[in-house]
Amino acid sequence: MGDSTRKLKVAVISPTEVGFEGEGESVVVPAYDGLLGILYGHAPLMTLLGTGEVTVTDGETVHRIAVSGGFLQIVDNEVSVLARRVGECSSEGSGTKDAV
């Protein structure tokens, strides 16, 4: 299941910035009522965002993007995080899995 065809397309954007755009095997998103983990094959979903970190894991690489407010849409294995604001995380923006 680790082949690259089974990856999520992830975009984390705000009106002024692109926080992240790329692929990932799993994504953790701060939804309005708690963290939400997303893997390949997730059902189409729309939900509101809270404040926190979006974590995109792709193999050994982990990208973390701070978001606040907005909206999440999952359709056809495309994860769109439309945040009111995005920013760098105070901890390393991208690192290895061990660093999490």
Partner 1 sequence: MAKARDIGRRMRSVESTRKITRTMEMVATSKLRRAQLRVRQARPFAERVAAVVENLVTPELTDLEPLLRQPGRIRRAAVILVTSNRGLCGAFNVNLMRKARELLAELQASDVDAEFHVIGKKGISYFRFRNVAMASTRTDIGDDPSPDMARGLIDPLADRFVREELDAVYVVHAEFRSVMSTPPITRRLLPVYVPQERPTREPYYILDPSADEILARLLPLHLVSSMYRALVENVAAEQGARRTAMKSATDNADEFLTTLRRQFNRARQQEITSQLAEIIGGAEALKG
Residue numbers at the binding site for partner 1 (CB under 8 A): 13-18, 31-32, 43-48, 69-71, 73, 75-76, 80, 82, 84
Q: What would the two tokens of residue 56 be?
A: 């995109």
Q: Given the complex with partner 1, which of 29 and 62 has the nearer CB atom? A: 29
Cα–Cα distance list, 65 to 4, 25, 27, 41 (Å) = 22, 16, 11, 23
Q: Given the complex with partner 1, which of 57 and 80 has the nearer CB atom? A: 80
At its nearest, how many Å lie between partner 1 and the CB of residue 67?
13
5 CB-near residues (< 8 Å, 6+ apart): none
Q: Given the complex with partner 1, which of 48 and 100 has the nearer CB atom? A: 48
At its nearest, how many Å lie between partner 1 and the CB of residue 13?
6
Tokens 């404040």 sit on residue: 51
Residue 59 DSSP SS3:
coil
